[in-house]
Amino acid sequence: MSRAFEMKDFKLLSETRFDRKPVNRGYAMRTMHVDVGSRTMKEKPVSAEMKAKFVGGKGFGLRLLWDGTKPTTKWNDPENEIVIAMGPVCGNTNYPGSGKSLVVSLSPMTGVPIDSNVGGYFGPYLKFGGWDALEVQGKSDRETIVFIDNAEGFVRFYEAPAGLQEDTHLLADELTRAFAGGLASGGASPDPTELQAISVVSAGRGADHSPMGVLNFSLYDKRRDGIRVKQAGRGGIGTVLRDKKIRALVVRYKGVTQNANDAADPAAVQRLGLKMHREIVVNDDKQCKMRKQGTAHLMEVMNDYDLLPTKNHKYGQDPKGPELASWVWEKLFSQNLPDGCWFGCTLACAHAVDHFKLQTGPYKDQKVCVDGPEYETAAGVGSNLYVYDPNGILELNFYCDTYGIDTISFGTMTSFLMECWELGVLNADRTDGIDLSWGNWKGAAQILHDMADGKRFGVLAGQGVKRLAEYFAAEYGADAQLMRDIALHGKGLEQSEYVSKESLAQQGGYYLTNKGPQHDEAWLIFMDMVNNKIPSFEDKAEALHYFPMFRTWFGLQGLCKLPWNDIEPSDNGKWPESNKVPEHVHNYIDLYKAITGLDLDWDGLIRQSERVYNFQRIFNVRQGHGHRKDDYPPYRAMGPVLEDEYLAREERYDKQMKEKIGVDPAGKSTGEKLRITREFRLGQYDTLIDAVFKRRGWTSEGIPRPDHLKDIGMDLPELLEVVGRHI
Amino acid sequence: MIKYLKLDDQKCVGCMSCATACSLAYAKEDNPAKARIQVNGLGNGRFHLVACDQECRRCVAECPVQAITVNKQGVVMIDKKLCVGCLACVAVCPTEAMRFYPAESTPFKCVACGICVKACPKGALEIAEKEDSPASRFPFEAAAAARRDSTDQGERS
């Protein structure tokens, strides 16, 4: 057990005091800029134009990041920023899923802005000191802790003391206990209310050596008397944190109340929240069982529909699938706990496995609390690695989190490595002795431990599939085309964990995204593949306009997507366009109006998102990306790459060849059938891009058109200047 | 043992004396919407009384900040200083005994104080005791309660 720290153990490097400012109608109208290089803090006002055009959350984050960086800025330049922004609805305690922070940065994996939506107490605590966003810029010359005390009104830069841990499960716990109570008590207060008033943002040793580092946002759990963490997972923001030599950001705030947002109509906020709480209490057991299983409720459904990634997305199903079914996780998760990631989230999907005994690594034989797994993790480091041992998944989940590694990128990367092992591209000589046979989770764990140590094979592995595919072709003579086909990434970011082969719309949902293949923009597989609700290219394009725009809105507000459609009103099915869950959309509109006092309708909601979405696209263009050529999937995401992959679903593919392509498969070799299928599917995707770009108001090269920018009120000079150079 | 307000619907005549006494005591106004006991008319001169039975404790388990705890008399108490007003407790309450008033920041409930008992002219109310049910229903609550007892930090007013 490590020793306990108090505040006096932290060497003070500098301090800036500030006036606390109450939030008014959901906004503080100022942001905090922290430079860890010069160890200074300054306040920036939020202009009326910024509020009107960028709304908050991800919109504010991207605006600040654009202004703080240059077209030439690389992820590890000092001017790259980590911006944590909340949004006007963030922090209300009534409506489930209202505690999200949106984190943006130039990604070490893609070179373009990444955005990640994360729970935990940090964002709301930051906001209620009177800040709409926090910009972190610069690079420190020593290991630094930034302590923002929103209860007292100061920012302090501390040097991390010797002996302070690096891995999150220990570090966040040490810092929470050290800073509890603040200066008045000298820290180290044992009062649970003081402990709960601290939230920590940290990464871990893995993020020091791999571009796929996460940020862990902590919350102190009174019942467990311990730290829980939620991840800003995608795109390597934890790596940026560590590159800046920031050990952690710590915030302190006390006294969250029902109307800390100073809502225009607090009774309406209560009414909307209570309506949702009741809907969840009544319907959740009959619908998704989020309160008992979290997103892991999806496991057997995905396996049933051939969508659960298995062996690097080669297949979508396996007879062993049920070994990872929702009921398995329900038994492992501690039940009857209000495991929300922010106060008042009765959907409470942030489950944990308590007292889990580790089998490998530096914490072997210790009992720990494992946050998760969520669906993406259970699929990514489970079925996709052919791991059907829940204990193996829990171990990988735990070490990813504490080392500050993204479970999704790690899962997709390790499945690529295991397929390379199967193909003979890798062997024990090339992996420093790690056996990467399918299902060997201890091999995967060893890669993680290597990543944390910064030694051996894990350092190479942790570079991500894009770089690995190039490296294996160049150094090991692997077939370069095959490597590109099976390295599941877009723009450098690993794909998340749904098999998209049989849904053209979902291929677009993954790869026609701003940040890379993450399912948070659109999840259209059932609509497209199972229910055939969007048959034409125009239908798919409409869905690939509406859903990304709608879902972007959560990120502008500081909201979670899950209470939108992982719980539904009992009568949802009887309404037109039930897949949009219209009653919940109206809840959100009413919630926004009740908090901000501003007017909004459904079209206006989409318009708010469209502005920010196009801004992000142009940001990509400014950084030298964001063109049509950047929006193509690797072929594994589109169809069968290998002969055995085709043969495993031969009946399906032959039928499609006959009915959709109009070619008789009879008498053709598997190789020939693969080629015909591939040509057809690539052509379909190109037609899809044309339709989607047109619907989004972009040129066929993917550049937002100036007239479209004018239509949506986003014809800002700096944007027209960038798009003008490409049209 | 659990101390609680025992309700006898058969004796209630709907005079609202209990609600008046309760809301005057706790909200400083005569307003049944702010009373910790509810008198619901069923028609035909019959009434149904609602107040917390202090026994199910779903609100205790649901509270994200542990503002709701059970005191030494077995009564479920809300610590208003800790409460964040999320109203999850209101949603999970099976009898709607946990209440709130629009735009007021914290919910409220019967704490078995007995003020209404004295006000009732018909003897429909009494403060009674019943056996506690096993604490093991919510093991994390039991553990937290044990910690509170050992550090003597519990029982905030």
DSSP string covering A634-692: PGGGTS--SHHHHHHTHHHHHHHIIIII----TT--HHHHHHHHHHHHHHHHHHHHHHH
DSSP alpha helix (H) spans, A203-342: 205-209, 237-243, 266-283, 290-293, 299-304, 326-332
What is the pLDDT, as a whole number, of residue B83?
Answer: 98
Q: Dig out the tokens for A503 from the structure.
A: 């849904």
Q: With contact defined as beta carbons under 8 Å apart, do A39 and A157 qualify?
A: yes
Phi first, then psi, for residue A545 (nearest 5°) are: -95, -55
Q: Tens place of pLDDT for every residue, chain B, 157 residues?
A: 899 999 999 999 999 999 999 999 999 999 999 999 999 999 999 999 999 999 989 999 999 999 999 999 999 999 999 999 999 999 999 999 999 999 999 999 999 999 999 999 999 999 999 988 665 455 566 666 666 556 544 333 3
| ipTM of the complex as predicted | 0.94
Q: With contact defined as beta carbons under 8 Å apart, do A84 and A126 qualify?
A: yes
Give A-chain residues touching B103 at CB under 8 angstroms: 259, 266-267, 270
Task: Kindly tell me if the per-residue pLDDT of A692 is higher than 50.
Answer: yes
Q: With bands split at pLDDT 50, 70 and 90, how would you rate the model's confidence at A64?
A: very high
What is the pLDDT, as a whole number, of residue B155?
Answer: 37
Interface test with B, best of A193, A282, A284, A335 (most B CBs within 10 A): A193
Interface test with B, best of A195, A258, A337 (most B CBs within 10 A): A258
What is the pLDDT, as a whole number, of residue B157?
Answer: 33
Interface test with B, best of A125, A195, A199, A222 (most B CBs within 10 A): A222
For the segment A544-559, the average pLDDT, to the nearest whole number, is 98
For the segment A321-326, the average pLDDT, to the nearest whole number, is 98
**Domain locations in chain B as residue ranges:** 2-151
Residue A301 DSSP SS3: helix
CB B85 to CB A337 under 8 A?
A: no
Within 8 A by CB and 6+ apart from A331, the residues are: none
CA distances from A593 to A171, A194, A232, A269 (A): 40, 33, 28, 9
Give A-chain residues touching B137 at CB under 8 angstroms: 336
DSSP state for residue B9 in the 8-state scheme: G
Say how far residue A356 (Cα) sits from the centre of its chain: 25
Query: Average model confidence (pLDDT) for chain A?
Result: 97
Q: Dig out the tokens for A431 from the structure.
A: 């992996």
Per residue in A451-490, pLDDT (tens digit) is 999 999 999 999 999 999 999 999 999 999 999 999 999 9
Instruction: Tell me how many residue pairs between chain A and chain B have CB atoms under 8 A apart.
Output: 87
Kindly state whether B100 is in contact with chain A, defined as any CB-CB distance less than 8 angstroms. yes
Closest CA to A499 of A320, A318, A669, A334: A318
- Closest CB from B86, B102, B153 relative to A343: B86
- Closest CB from A190, A274, A277 relative to B151: A190
CB A277 to CB B90 under 8 A?
A: yes
Per residue in A270-313, pLDDT (tens digit) is 999 999 999 999 999 999 999 999 999 999 999 999 999 999 99
What is the pLDDT, as a whole number, of residue B1?
Answer: 87
CB A94 to CB B85 under 8 A?
A: yes
CB B86 to CB A223 under 8 A?
A: no
Q: Does domain B2-151 have CATH number 3.60.15.10?
A: no
Torsion of CA A63, A232, A411, A493, to 10 degrees: 10
Residue A157 DSSP SS3: strand
Q: How many angstroms away from the CA of B152 is the closest CA of chain A?
A: 11
Q: How many angstroms away from the CA of A276 is the closest CA of chain B?
A: 9
Give A-chain residues touching B92 at CB under 8 angstroms: 277, 281, 346
Q: With contact defined as beta carbons under 8 Å apart, do A591 and A95 qualify?
A: yes
What is the pLDDT, as a whole number, of residue A288?
Answer: 96
CB A94 to CB B151 under 8 A?
A: no
In terms of CA atoms, which chain A residue is nearest residue B139? Answer: A336
What is the pLDDT, as a whole number, of residue A28?
Answer: 98
Task: Tell me which residues of chain A have a C-beta less than 8 Å from any C-beta of chain B.
Answer: 93-94, 190-193, 196, 222-225, 256-259, 266-267, 270-271, 273-274, 277-278, 280-281, 334, 336-338, 340, 343-346
Interface test with A, best of B57, B86, B95 (most A CBs within 10 A): B86
What is the pLDDT, as a whole number, of residue B153?
Answer: 43
Closest CA to A333 of A394, A420, A264, A262: A394
Q: How many angstroms away from the CA of B126 is the closest CA of chain A?
A: 31
- Closest CB from A223, A267, A346 relative to B144: A223
In terms of CA atoms, which chain B residue is nearest residue A266? Answer: B103
Per residue in A218-235, pLDDT (tens digit) is 999 999 999 999 999 999
CB B147 to CB A270 under 8 A?
A: no
Kindly state whether B66 is in contact with chain A, defined as any CB-CB distance less than 8 angstroms. yes
Give A-chain residues touching B105 at CB under 8 angstroms: 257-259
Kindly state whether B157 is in contact with chain A, defined as any CB-CB distance less than 8 angstroms. no
CA distances from A598 to A47, A59, A715, B37 (A): 16, 17, 23, 38
Instruction: Enumerate residues 44 to 63 of chain B having a beta carbon within 8 A of any beta carbon in chain A.
Output: 61-63
In terms of CA atoms, which chain B residue is nearest residue A269? Answer: B103
CA distance A642 to A638: 12
CB A338 to CB B141 under 8 A?
A: no
DSSP string covering A595-649: HH-----HHHHHHHHHHHHHHHHHHHHHTT--SGGGGPPPGGGTS--SHHHHHHT
For the segment A581-591, the average pLDDT, to the nearest whole number, is 98
For the segment A7-31, the average pLDDT, to the nearest whole number, is 98
**CA triple A163-A165-A171, angle to 5 deg:** 135
* Strands ordered across the beta sheet of A144-149: A11-17, A154-159, A144-149, A246-252, A198-202, A215-221, A226-232
Task: Kindly tell me if the per-residue pLDDT of A1 is higher than 50.
Answer: no
What is the pLDDT, as a whole number, of residue B156?
Answer: 35
Residue type, B26: Y
Closest CA to A348 of B31, B88, B25: B88
Per residue in A648-669, pLDDT (tens digit) is 999 999 999 999 999 999 999 9
CA distances from A413 to A307, A343, A451, A510, A602 (A): 18, 35, 13, 17, 39
Residue A470: CB atoms within 10 Å: 16
Q: How many angstroms away from the CA of B53 is the closest CA of chain A?
A: 20
CA distance A184 to B146: 28
Q: How many angstroms away from the CA of A423 is the closest CA of chain B?
A: 49
CB B66 to CB A223 under 8 A?
A: yes
For the segment A379-405, the average pLDDT, to the nearest whole number, is 98
Kindly state whether B65 is in contact with chain A, defined as any CB-CB distance less than 8 angstroms. yes
